[in-house]
């Protein structure tokens, strides 16, 4: 069963609707007890880093989530701010991240942008993929982005896909059972649907 972590942030219903259309067992998870029933987890997120971390802690799921991911090795997919929460820290706030993938979340440097480029990075962008099962069967991937910060992993090999917006940045990461995308698959039409299907079946 796919468990979509519902801590008050993120497009949880959009993920749920996609999996229901695919006839894949899915459930919104709102408690530590419900986390135990999931075989795979999705951690969505929108907004500011510290607010997302605060809401996750207030949900009462934080400790159980860490155990399920780090000890039980349950596959997890972070999306947008859900990806950034997996870092050690973020320049956007003062709170400590989950630390599942060592790295730092940084703000794009607007001084290096062309006049046509501005923040937030919003809209469709291409994704250059290294060999990664999450993207299996996806040709010429185009995904929808909405962010002003990006994940800079300490270990460059944890970046399995890159995009360009004034500078090249990691648009997908992977470390063991932890995967994440800066883009929104739930807003990315058939490319996103295939990626979510791959997460459920092939990773």
**Residue 118: alpha-carbon gap to chain centroid:** 22
Band of the pLDDT at 109, cuts 50, 70, 90?
confident
How sure is the predictor about 52, in pLDDT bands with cuts at 50, 70 and 90? very high
Q: Are 169 and 105 in contact (CB under 8 A)?
A: no
Average pLDDT, the chain: 94
Question: What pLDDT was estimated at residue 124?
Answer: 97
Q: Residue 115: what pLDDT?
A: 67
pLDDT tier, 118 (very low <50, low <70, confident <90, very high otherwise)? confident
User: Is 186 part of the annotated catalytic residue set?
Assistant: yes
Identified catalytic residue from 16, 34, 186, 189: 186
**Cα dihedral 68, 26, 190, 76 in deg (nearest 10):** 0
pLDDT digits (tens, 9 = 90+) for 69-80: 999 999 999 999
Q: From the candidates 34, 36, 80, 189, which is the catalytic residue?
A: 80
- Asked if 80 is an active-site residue, the reply is yes
Per CATH, domain 2-201 is 3.30.2010.10: no
Clarify whether 121 is annotated catalytic: no
What global pTM score does this model have?
0.95
Residue carrying the six token digits 């990691």: 170
Task: With beta carbons less than 8 A apart as the criterion, state whether 95 and 102 touch.
Answer: no
């Amino acid at each position: 069963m796919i468990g979509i972590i519902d801590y008050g942030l993120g497009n949880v219903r959009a993920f749920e609707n996609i999996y229901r259309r695919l006839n894949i067992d899915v459930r919104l998870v709102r408690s530590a007890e419900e986390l135990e029933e999931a075989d795979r987890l999705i951690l969505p997120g929108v907004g500011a880093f510290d607010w997302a971390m605060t809401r996750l802690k207030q949900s009462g799921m934080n400790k159980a989530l860490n155990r399920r991911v780090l000890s039980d090795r349950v596959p997890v997919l972070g999306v947008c701010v859900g990806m950034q929460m997996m870092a050690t820290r973020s320049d956007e706030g003062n709170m400590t991240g989950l630390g599942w993938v060592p790295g730092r979340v940084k703000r794009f440097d607007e001084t290096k942008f062309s006049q046509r480029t501005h923040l937030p990075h919003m809209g469709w962008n291409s994704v250059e993929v290294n060999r990664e099962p999450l993207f299996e069967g996806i040709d010429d991937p185009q995904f929808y982005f909405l962010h002003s910060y990006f994940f800079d992993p300490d270990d460059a090999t944890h970046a399995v896909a890159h995009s360009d917006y004034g500078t090249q940045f990691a648009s997908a990461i992977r470390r063991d059972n932890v995967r994440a995308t800066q883009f929104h698959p739930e807003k990315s039409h058939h490319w996103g649907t295939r990626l979510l299907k791959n997460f459920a079946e092939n990773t």
